[in-house]
Amino acid sequence: MARILGVDIPNNKHVVISLTYIYGIGNDSAQKILDKLGIDHRKKTKDLTEEQLSTLATEIENNYVVEGQLSRQIRGNIQRLKEIACYRGFRHRRGLPVRGQQTQSNARTRKGPRKTIAGKKRVGK
C-alpha cells in the first residue's frame, strides 16, 4: 500500500478513488489534484512512480487542509458556535439536528435511542 500523509491508500484501485481515502479529499478534489500534476486518472496506484507519489504528497500538504488539521478546525468551529451561544451552537450542545430538520418524528440518529417515560398513559376516547 502506498502511504501519503500518514494514510495508507489502496494499490489496486484507480488513483482518483485511492486519494479519497484521505480525510478531507473527495472525488472532485482528487480529480483537480491529478489534473494539476498531469497524472492519468485511470492509472492504478501501484503503477505510480515514487516521484509521482512524492509530488502528490507535497501538493496535498501545501494546498489542502486534511486529516487531523481539518478535524481540529471543524471541532474549533463548532466550539466557537457553542461559546457565542448562537442557535446552531445550542443545537450542537443539546445534540439535536443543526440544519433545520424536523425532530418530532425523526432525528433518531442525533437524539439517540428513545427514552421511554414510565407511567405515561394514553388518553382514551
The ranges assigned to domains in the chain are 3-63, 68-111
Count of C-beta atoms within a 10 Å radius of residue 42: 9
Fold of 68-111: 30s ribosomal protein s13; domain 2 (4.10.910)
pTM reported for the whole predicted model: 0.78
Tell me the three cell numbers of residue 47. 503503477
Query: Please, where are the H alpha helices in 1-125?
Result: 15-19, 27-37, 50-63, 67-83, 87-94, 108-111
8-66: pLDDT as tens digits = 999 999 999 999 999 999 999 999 999 999 999 999 999 999 999 999 999 999 999 99
On average, the pLDDT of the chain sits at 92
CATH architecture observed for domain 3-63:
Orthogonal Bundle (1.10)
